[in-house]
Amino acid sequence: MIKLLLQSVFVGLYSVSIFSLLSKLGYPNLFLTGFIKHLFGYLLGLQDVFCRCSIHYPFLSLMRDCTLEGILFLIFLQRSNTFTKFLFGFFLHIISEYLGIHKYFCKSYCIKN
């Protein structure tokens, strides 16, 4: 439980950081925040750490999941402040864990040795 909470805090801060960076660049776009959050999670190897394996993410699946996360950010974070963006990233991570989305992701994309 502590590990999940720490991961969720990290994801919340990661979400706010991406939104803040985009805002400073003149692109405070919620869809882009969710899309880039998921894409960079893959490119930076964050998903490998979470799943404890090497992730093989087919390009179309990666684009689909980035788009879905972008849509979630767009739908739920209209008219929100920085703290709300943090909470959304935090709770999205916890909800994904309890719904089995993370387990399914790791099972589907881990490279079997």
- In the chain, where the domains are located: 2-109
Q: Which two tokens stand for residue 62?
A: 């990666």
Bin 58: left if φ > 0, else alpha if -120 < ψ < 50, else beta.
beta
Which residue ranges in the chain fall short of pLDDT 70? Answer: 27-28, 112-113
Q: CB neighbours of 13 closer than 8 A, spacing ≥ 6? A: 86, 89
pTM to 2 decimal places: 0.84
Question: Is residue 30 within 8 Å of 48, Cβ to Cβ?
Answer: no
Q: How far apart are CA 11 and CA 70, in angstroms?
A: 15
Q: For residue 98, what are the contacts with CB-CB under 8 A and spacing of at least 6?
A: none
